Structure formats: C-alpha cells, structure tokens
Amino acid sequence: MDALLIIGGLLLMLAGLVWLVMRAFATSLLWGWGSLIPPLTLIYLLRHWSRARSAVALIGLGVIPLVVGLTLLAAKDAERLAAIMRLDWLKPEVQVPAELAIELRGELNGQPFRPQQGELIDGVLSLREGLDFFAQRELNIRLPQPVSGALRLDVLPQDGGNLPEVELSWLLPEQDLPEARRLSRGYTLHLDLQPQAPNRLVGDFHLVLPPRFKTSLSGRVELYSDRLRYEDGEVDRRFDSRDTIAYVLHDYLQRRFASRDVRELKLPPFTFDGDELELPVEAVIDGRAERLPIRLSKRDQQGWAVLGDRFPPLPTLAAAPPAAQPEAQPVEERLSRPLDRRQRFSLARLQRNPEQYRNLSMRLSKASGGTVEGRFVGIDADGSIRLNQQLGSGAGQASFSFKPQEIGRLELLEP
C-alpha cells in the first residue's frame, strides 16, 4: 500500500509539472523554454498565476499521497526509507565474492539463477542467490534420507516411489515474503557429488522441471557439508553457526575434564543476537552425564570462546608400541590368516569367477569420469557388470550396469 501511494503521488506531481510546461508554451515560446529552468519557472508562476494555478494545484494534490506513503513506509521499514533518501538505488550493486565455485547455467522461474551459497546438510541440498534473510531466488532439494560421503542420484520423470522433493522460492521487489512452489515427481535430476576436504561436496548438477515452472539448471556445484568454516586448515571460530559453537564447546569440555571421551553434546535453541551467549550444556563425559551452565563470548580476532577458559590442551596421543607376537610356525600362520580377496582382485578375475565376489562392496570408476559405489550382484548376459546401490531405509535401490569397455578401474572394498 505504501508503495502504491508513493508512486501515485509522484505520477500526479509529474503530470502537474508537464501541464505547467504546456501552459508556459501556450503563453509564449520564450516562456515555454524558460519554464524548463527552475528559477525562471518561479518567475513564470508569479507573472502568470492565473494560467499556472491549475497545474500547481495538481502538483499539490500529488504531494498528499506521497507524504502519506512515506509516513507508512517509515513506520514499517525506516531503514528502507533511509536507503531511498540516500539514493542507494542509484548506486551499482556490489557483488560479494562467492565462497564457493558454483557454475550453473540456466534459469529459475524464468530468471537467471546465480547462487552464491550452497550446502547439503541433513539431507537437504540448498542453493541460494542473495545474502538477505529471504533469498532473492532459492532452490531446495530434500532427499529421502541424510547422506554422508559421495552421492550419486538419478531421477527421471516417469520414476515413482520415495523421491526427493524439489522446492523453488523467489522474492519479487514489491513483495515482503517470497513465493514458493513444490513438486515431488515428474522432473529430471542428476547428482554426482564427491567429498572434498575439509567439508565440501563437489560435482555435477542437472535439474529440469516441467515447462510451467520455467526452471532448468545444469553445471557444476560446490556445497558445504556442514556449517563450519575453515581458515588455513583450522576451524574459523568467528563464523556464527550452531556447528561452530558445538565445536568450541566440545574442545572446551575435553580440556576441562582432561578426557577425549565427550559424547552426546546437547545444546538448547539459541540465536546470535550479540557477542555473548549463555547456554545450559548437556554431555556424556567418561560415561557420566554432565549438565553445565556455560557462557561464551566472541572476540574480533579469536572468535567464539568460553569465558574463564584457562584449561591446557590435551597431550598428544602417542603411538602405541606394537604388541609382541608369539612365535608360530609358518604353516600355522598361513592357515590362521583370513583370505583377503582384495589383494589379487581384478576385472578379469571377477569375470572368471563372479560367484566368489557376489554381494561384496565395490567402487567402479568409469573411463569417461565419475565413480559409483555399490554391491556386486552379477554379470548380465551381454557381459555388463551390475552394481546395486542402497538409497536408504524404505527408499529402495538404484541399479547400475556398465560394459567392460566403459570401466576405467574396479576396486574391491571388502576382504
């Protein structure tokens, strides 16, 4: 409503100014050109008030909705009004350097999509464009179950069952809340993500939704797998996230109780409203349940730390000396050692004796690129190697078949 009043008032004022210039040209050509210069416009108003008063009245009429609209905007969003008055909308938008290498081509809801943020946490893949609380454009893919490590997933429009849910949302300039659309089938999705130290997933991304959604994306993505940030190989304690606080508290409890056995750390819900936090923390330490009130403070350089923390670091674990092995006869040692089929495993051995490796976990690297992990289930009639990949509880299995000439490398992961 406030935007409509402001725009309506400005239009009325603009119409009044145009009418005033037209009246000046009707008086004479000289007054017409002179009315385009503000000082001469005032002189024209004084000399020819009877001709100009109707246009001035229209300008004054436009001031009323303009003032009302600005008042409503100031009451609802004073910061936005201040930005308008500072003419921030005339300044070029400064692009914040992206932390992640996301290279996607295509569009979301018919608009170019250039996400700066991406993560895959607790089974939800999220890509966001914009750094405000509500993203300018956002894509969320909720997987049937959380994943850890590498992820390869292919969904076709005709597939059924427990499929990932895709959600689109976008925020238009005149809206206060974003619009959202969801669908759970009838789309094409390809994910091939590989873990990259310390906490990232990198790989191919391809998504095509039905035409009415005007969404098609393809390229490579880089995603965070948790809400920790690293600097020079160390956790950046200045980053505000629940995972950062959990990391700081876990390290503190280990040093306070001089024990590495800290498990089941529980934190209450909290928000980052300032530079201090006071939390009741629960954890199991050396098998004992502990509940402690802990205060944390954030410093400019060191980041989050527990107030009053003066506990020394834990000693470095020394490598345990190898245990003395009893002397045994060579024949007895060979008989007691379990057979490790990984040592002499090869594609040719698998083709000669497939039953020996049935239901064992394998990693297959394609000659054209990409890796698939799954359990070997057999060799097809055309000689293709078939692997099954478990998608999770209740989500079924994905089956992959590769011809020998497509295989670059085949590894056995179990003895």
Kindly report, residue by residue over 63-108, the tens digit of the pLDDT: 888 888 888 878 877 777 777 777 765 666 555 556 788 999 999 9
- pLDDT tops 50 at residue 332: no
pLDDT value, residue 323: 56
Note if the bond before 198 is cis, omega within 30 degrees. Answer: yes
Distance of CA 273 to the CA centre of its chain: 22
Q: Are 130 and 114 in contact (CB under 8 A)?
A: no
What is the spatial distance between Cα 121 and Cα 224, in angstroms, rounded to a whole number? 8
Range 376-384 average pLDDT: 83
Largest CA distance in the chain: 123
CA dist 364 → 149, 192, 355 (Å): 15, 13, 18
What is the spatial distance between Cα 286 and Cα 74, in angstroms, rounded to a whole number? 57
What is the spatial distance between Cα 329 and Cα 338, in angstroms, rounded to a whole number? 16
**How does residue 338 score in pLDDT terms, banded at 50, 70 and 90?**
very low
163: its two tokens:
């499929």
- pLDDT tops 60 at residue 125: yes
Range 394-414 average pLDDT: 78
- pLDDT tops 60 at residue 119: yes
pLDDT value, residue 367: 79
Q: What single DSSP character describes residue 187?
A: -
Q: What single DSSP character describes residue 406?
A: G
For 201-207, the CB contacts below 8 A with 24+ separation are: 201/120, 201/151, 201/225, 202/101, 203/151, 204/370, 205/104, 207/139, 207/141, 207/166
Range 96-122 average pLDDT: 87
What is the spatial distance between Cα 401 and Cα 154, in angstroms, rounded to a whole number? 14
What is the spatial distance between Cα 410 and Cα 392, in angstroms, rounded to a whole number? 24
pLDDT value, residue 330: 45
Alpha carbons within 13 A on the beta-carbon side of 72? 12
Other CB atoms within 10 Å distance of the CB of residue 317: 7
CA dist 59 → 31, 45, 63, 66, 225 (Å): 19, 13, 7, 11, 58
**How does residue 391 score in pLDDT terms, banded at 50, 70 and 90?**
low
User: What is the pLDDT of the chain when averaged over all its residues?
Assistant: 84
pLDDT value, residue 41: 84
Range 204-230 average pLDDT: 94
| Residue indicated by tokens 């809206």 | 175
Q: pLDDT > 70: what percent of the chain?
A: 90
Q: Are 386 and 400 in contact (CB under 8 A)?
A: yes
The three-state (H, E, C) secondary structure of 374-393, written as one string:
EEEEEECCCCCEEEEEEEEC
pLDDT value, residue 118: 93
- pLDDT tops 50 at residue 337: no
- pLDDT tops 70 at residue 328: no
108: Cβ contacts below 8 Å, ≥ 6 apart: 137, 139, 168, 170, 214, 215, 217
| Residue indicated by tokens 């909720």 | 142
Q: Which residue has the higher pLDDT, 174 or 411?
A: 411
152: its two tokens:
């390869």
Range 194-219 average pLDDT: 94
Range 282-291 average pLDDT: 91
Kindly report, residue by residue over 230-260, the tens digit of the pLDDT: 988 899 999 999 999 999 999 999 998 888 8
Phi first, then psi, for residue 182 (nearest 5°) are -130, 150
161: its two tokens:
């069952």
| Residue indicated by tokens 């097809």 | 380
pLDDT value, residue 408: 83
232: Cβ contacts below 8 Å, ≥ 6 apart: none
193 burial (CB, 10 Å; 0-12 / 13-18 / 19+) is buried
pLDDT value, residue 336: 40
305 burial (CB, 10 Å; 0-12 / 13-18 / 19+) is middle
| Residue indicated by tokens 């089956």 | 399
What is the spatial distance between Cα 131 and Cα 108, in angstroms, rounded to a whole number? 17
Range 163-187 average pLDDT: 89
Task: Identify residue 254 by its one-letter amino acid code.
Answer: Q
Kindly report, residue by residue over 346-368, the tens digit of the pLDDT: 888 888 788 778 778 888 888 77
